[in-house]
């Protein structure tokens, strides 16, 4: 008897499992499959993506469903289209020997009529995102009034994404006597509330506390000045030439901006966040899977469905609000038995959060220094040497060799090597030989933050700022105020005393917004131009525009000829109403877990 047989699974599933090459059940499967097969019960399971949880609910559901009947009997709700498709594909593989069983995916961004057609043909299991599901119920395109089983997958994430009302509506269209199986990586209050409200005495299981791959992940942190985050990110990428990474930002806008800057600076980067169209997301994910995109800059929500095994580094460009989210992020690397590194870029004041994470994940972080320019040059040189050594010779070159030899005639081996290396290396050297040390000591003042650094920000009262746009750029005080309000996603009253001059302007905010405003306008570009905001040294702000030093062109400059550019749709810094900035409107306040 195989270990899967011992769990109570029937032959069609066992045959599929054998085809898939699964040797033994994972922990979540071992714990939930016997319960779900033997008992008609609700279940709450704490388990992360990558632990095999799709099979944990999928196997029992497939076995229990009557495939002879065309009625929809199982509903699985999942937060994103990516996950929805992933689950559907997995279930199709698992049920390949179950005759007549149809699994249909319904999700936004694709033809609703085509999905309705598939449902009409008979779908015993429907896998859906909440928004599209609700839409289809409203249009009578799907009937879930007779389901026996309902799975809420990644429940915490669905609630994070604001699907509570949709889930409530959807569940109100299902029968009382169904069984609900809830899977969640974390158990915040909101999920506990759902479990209490919609479930009856659920059996609870927990699988580990950390992602399965966690012990293969090394955690590192780097302390830099708040304004050096991006420069630090570039150095980390340059110091790891073979990097294949997910870079996490907190907001969609930061995600877009960081990805755009990386692309402009010649990195193979792409953005993944919820403001992109489905088509754009598919494009970037395909390129990432093919490793054409080496740095995938993503929001937490968009990255949830990523199922790529070879990620070498996770880079926390900014730390998340909740420690659980950090666990999710670092779990994107160190998968499938491989090792991985999770790097965190923090400012001096954020280092206490590192301690809190260490306590929670029971693993120590290694404090590391951002490599200096010369270290990076050295790494790049050796990388190039190895690349040359490992390159397979292209025999097509043979016929051109005599001519090439003619050109290089008289140059000895040593000089030739120097020249070859200089072709690639000089650009790096020229850039890095002029750069500063980015490391901030944990105890001392943050380095490199200059004017407007945290120490200069008043902690109360109002703060006056200089901004390098004015009437010459078409602004009057009202339109500049609108621009600031939209860009910062704050209330109108938060920005006041806007005073436009010819080529620059001034405005005020409450002190508590100062750090956020300065951070937002760090390396901020509008229509290709840097917008510079600094704290005005003159309290009245009236006289002279000297308050702001002019930014001279782009920092860091072009690096190498990047080729994969997936900028996504909206350019960062547009005037349009960006979401996801300062969480004043709509955004629910986090309770602060650190
Ligand atoms: P999940 O957590 O459901 O997203 O599963 C992660 C991956 O693990 C999927 O590619 C599954 O096909 C695979 N998987 C699930 N169960 C097992 C198992 N028992 N043994 C090996 N691989 C598995």
DSSP 411-463: --HHHHHHHHHHHHHHHHHHHHTTPPP-BPPSSSPPTT--TT-GGGS-SSSEE
Residue 483 has pLDDT above 70, yes or no: yes
What HEC string does 228-277 produce?
HHHHHHHHHHHCCCCCCEEEECCCHHHHHHHHHHHHHCCCCEEEECCCCC
3-state secondary structure of 473: helix
3-state secondary structure of 55: helix
Instruction: Give the lowest-confidence range in 259-273, 383-397, 543-557.
Output: 543-557
Percent of the chain whose pLDDT exceeds 90: 44
Confirm or reject: Cβ of 308 under 6 Å from ligand 1. no
In terms of DSSP bridges, do strands 74-77 and 149-152 run parallel, antiparallel, or are they unpaired? parallel
User: What mean pLDDT is predicted for residues 330-338?
Assistant: 77
239 and 328 belong to one structural domain = yes
Number of domains in the chain: 2
Which residue's alpha carbon is at the smallest distance from atom 4 of ligand 1?
50
Of ligand 1's listed atoms, the one at least distance from the Cα of 54 is 3
Q: Which residue has the higher pLDDT, 552 or 197?
A: 197
Work out the burial of residue 91: count CB atoms within 10 Å of its CB; fewer than 13 is exposed, 13-18 middle, 19 or more buried.
buried
28 and 155 belong to one structural domain = yes
DSSP code per residue over 83-128: HHHHHHHHHHHHTTTSTT--EEEE-TTS-HHHHHHHHHT--SEEEE
Q: Answer yes or no: is 292 within a domain.
A: yes
Whole-number Cα distances in Å, 112 to 23, 131, 278, 279, 411: 39, 12, 14, 16, 67
Compute, in angstroms, the gap from residue 22 CA to the centroid of ligand 1.
8
pLDDT at 461: 75
Chosen domain end from 180, 206, 232: 206
Confirm or reject: Cβ of 53 under 6 Å from ligand 1. yes
Chosen domain end from 154, 181, 206: 206
Chosen domain end from 206, 241, 272: 206
Q: HSE (CB half, 13 Å, CA atoms) of 436?
A: 10
Contact 498, 505 (CB under 8 A): yes
Q: Answer yes or no: is 390 within a domain.
A: no
Calculate ∠ Cα 152-154-158, nearest 5°.
85
Per-residue pLDDT band for 337 (boundaries 50, 70, 90) equals low
Q: Which residue has the higher pLDDT, 586 or 287?
A: 287
Compute, in angstroms, the gap from residue 188 CA to the centroid of ligand 1.
25
181: which strand partners? 43, 151
Q: Answer yes or no: is 409 within a domain.
A: no
Q: Which of 25, 26, 208 to mutate to test the pocket of ligand 1 (most atoms within 8 A of CB)?
A: 26
pLDDT digit string (tens) for 343-398? 999 988 888 889 999 888 888 899 999 988 888 888 888 888 888 888 888 888 89
Average pLDDT, the chain: 82
Count of C-beta atoms within a 10 Å radius of residue 406: 8
Percent of the chain whose pLDDT exceeds 70: 85
Q: Containing domain of residue 144, as a range?
A: 5-206
Confirm or reject: Cβ of 211 under 6 Å from ligand 1. no
Instruction: Give the lowest-confidence range in 119-133, 317-331, 554-568.
Output: 554-568
Could you give the CA distance from residue 108 to residue 132 in angstroms, rounded to a whole number? 5
192 and 319 belong to one structural domain = no
Q: Answer yes or no: is 114 within a domain.
A: yes
pLDDT at 15: 96
- Sorted by sequence, the CB contacts under 8 Å of residue 88 that are 6+ apart come out as 103, 104, 105, 127
Per-residue pLDDT band for 339 (boundaries 50, 70, 90) equals confident
576 sits in the region (left: phi over 0; alpha: psi -120 to 50; else beta) called beta
Per-residue pLDDT band for 571 (boundaries 50, 70, 90) equals very low
User: What mean pLDDT is predicted for residues 257-274?
Assistant: 91
pLDDT at 442: 63
pLDDT at 135: 95
Which residue's alpha carbon is at the smallest distance from atom 8 of ligand 1?
52
322 and 301 belong to one structural domain = yes
Of ligand 1's listed atoms, the one at least distance from the Cα of 50 is 2
Instruction: Give the lowest-confidence range in 131-135, 251-255, 336-340, 359-363.
Output: 336-340
Rounded to a whole number of angstroms, the CA Rg of the chain reads 27
pLDDT at 10: 96
Residue 587 has pLDDT above 50, yes or no: no
3-state secondary structure of 135: helix
pLDDT at 319: 92
DSSP character for 152?
E
pLDDT digit string (tens) for 68-103? 999 999 999 998 888 899 999 999 999 999 999 999
Could you give the CA distance from residue 252 to residue 72 in angstroms, rounded to a whole number? 36
Confirm or reject: Cβ of 89 under 6 Å from ligand 1. no
Q: Which of 29, 31, 48, 55 to mutate to test the pocket of ligand 1 (most atoms within 8 A of CB)?
A: 55
Q: Answer yes or no: is 418 within a domain.
A: no
- Sorted by sequence, the CB contacts under 8 Å of residue 391 that are 6+ apart come out as none
pTM, to two decimals? 0.48
Residue 235 has pLDDT above 70, yes or no: yes
Which residue's alpha carbon is at the smallest distance from atom 21 of ligand 1?
22
293 and 349 belong to one structural domain = yes
User: What mean pLDDT is predicted for residues 19-44?
Assistant: 94
């Amino acid at each position: 008897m195989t270990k899967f047989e011992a769990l109570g699974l029937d032959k069609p599933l066992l045959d599929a499992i054998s085809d898939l090459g699964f040797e033994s059940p994972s922990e979540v499967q071992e714990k939930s499959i016997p319960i779900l097969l033997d008992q008609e019960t609700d279940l709450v399971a704490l388990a992360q993506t990558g632990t095999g949880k799709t099979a944990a609910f999928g196997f029992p559901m497939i076995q229990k469903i009557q495939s002879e009947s065309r009625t929809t009997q199982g509903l699985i709700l999942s937060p994103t289209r990516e996950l929805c498709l992933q689950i559907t594909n997995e279930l199709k593989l698992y049920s390949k020997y179950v005759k007549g069983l149809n699994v249909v995916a319904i999700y936004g961004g694709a033809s609703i009529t085509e999905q309705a057609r598939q449902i009409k043909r008979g779908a015993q299991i429907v896998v859906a995102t909440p928004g599209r599901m609700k839409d289809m119920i409203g249009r009578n395109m799907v009937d879930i009034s007779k389901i026996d089983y309902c799975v809420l997958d990644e429940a915490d994430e669905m609630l994070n994404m604001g699907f509570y009302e949709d889930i409530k509506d959807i569940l109100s269209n299902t029968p009382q006597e169904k069984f609900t199986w809830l899977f969640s990586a974390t158990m915040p209050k909101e999920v506990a509330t759902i479990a209490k409200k919609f479930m009856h005495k659920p059996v609870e299981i927990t699988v580990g506390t950390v992602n399965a791959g966690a012990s293969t992940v090394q955690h590192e942190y780097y302390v830099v000045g708040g304004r050096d985050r991006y420069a630090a990110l570039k150095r980390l990428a340059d110091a790891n030439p073979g990097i294949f990474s997910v870079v996490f930002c907190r907001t969609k806008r930061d995600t877009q901006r960081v990805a755009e800057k990386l692309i402009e600076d010649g990195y193979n980067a792409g953005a993944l966040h919820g403001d992109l169209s489905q088509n754009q997301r598919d494009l970037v994910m395909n390129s990432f899977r093919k490793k054409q995109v080496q740095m995938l800059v993503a929001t937490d929500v968009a990255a949830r469905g990523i199922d790529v095994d070879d990620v070498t580094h996770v880079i926390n460009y900014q730390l998340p609000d909740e420690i659980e989210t950090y666990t999710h992020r670092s779990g994107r690397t160190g998968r499938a038995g491989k090792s991985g590194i999770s790097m965190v870029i923090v400012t001096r004041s954020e280092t206490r959060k590192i301690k809190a994470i260490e306590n929670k994940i029971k693993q120590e972080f290694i404090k590391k220094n951002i490599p200096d320019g010369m270290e990076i040059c050295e790494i790049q040189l050796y990388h190039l040497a190895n690349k040359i050594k490992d390159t397979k010779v292209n025999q097509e070159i043979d016929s051109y060799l005599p001519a090439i030899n003619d050109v290089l005639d008289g140059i000895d081996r040593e000089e030739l090597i120097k020249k070859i290396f200089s072709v690639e290396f000089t650009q790096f050297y020229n850039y890095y030989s002029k750069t500063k040390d980015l490391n901030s000591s944990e105890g001392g003042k943050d380095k490199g933050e200059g004017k407007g650094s945290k120490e200069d920000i008043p902690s109360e009262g109002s703060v006056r700022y200089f901004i390098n746009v004015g009437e010459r750029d078409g602004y009057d005080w009202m339109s500049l105020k609108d621009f600031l309000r939209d860009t910062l996603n704050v209330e109108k009253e938060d920005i006041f005393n806007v005073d436009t001059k010819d080529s620059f302007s001034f405005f005020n905010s409450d002190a508590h917004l100062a750090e956020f405003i300065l951070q937002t306008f760090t390396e901020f570009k509008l229509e290709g131009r840097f917008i510079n905001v600094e704290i005005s040294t003159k309290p009245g702000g009236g006289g002279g525009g000297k308050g702001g030093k002019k930014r001279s062109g782009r920092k860091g400059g072009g690096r190498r000829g990047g080729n994969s550019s997936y900028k996504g749709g909206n350019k960062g810094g547009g005037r349009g109403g960006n979401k996801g900035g300062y969480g004043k409107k709509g955004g629910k306040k986090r309770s602060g877990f650190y």
